[in-house]
Amino acid sequence: MVQPNPKNRTASQLNSEQYARLKAEIKNPYRNVRKFIYVAGGASGLIGAFIFFFQSLAGRNLDTALPNLALQLGIIALMAFLWRWEERRQKP
């Protein structure tokens, strides 16, 4: 005889909050993974911008520090744009 497994729930046993969460995940798969990548990329850009800003402030390697600083600021801007775009897409 097969014992009922409480982990195997049918759709009728899910409450409305769980069902809504599952529907949202089906509509936008990997949304949390994308948001994590945006945060990680933004943090990386922020650390790089911090380093290249102080290198250029100290006057060391200005020919490479300034373009790298601009690149890091661009990465931060891109990650902020993607984050906001993701948030706007989620709202009805």
Per-residue pLDDT reduced to its tens digit, 33-70: 999 999 999 999 999 999 999 999 999 889 999 999 99
Specify the higher pLDDT residue, 23 or 79.
Answer: 79
Residue 91 DSSP symbol: -
The 3 state secondary structure assigned to 12-74 is: HHCCHHHHHHHHHHHHCCCHHHHHHHHHHHHHHHHHHHHHHHHHHHHCCCHHHHHHHHHHHHH
Mean pLDDT (whole number) for 23-35: 84
**Is the pTM above the cut of 0.75?**
no
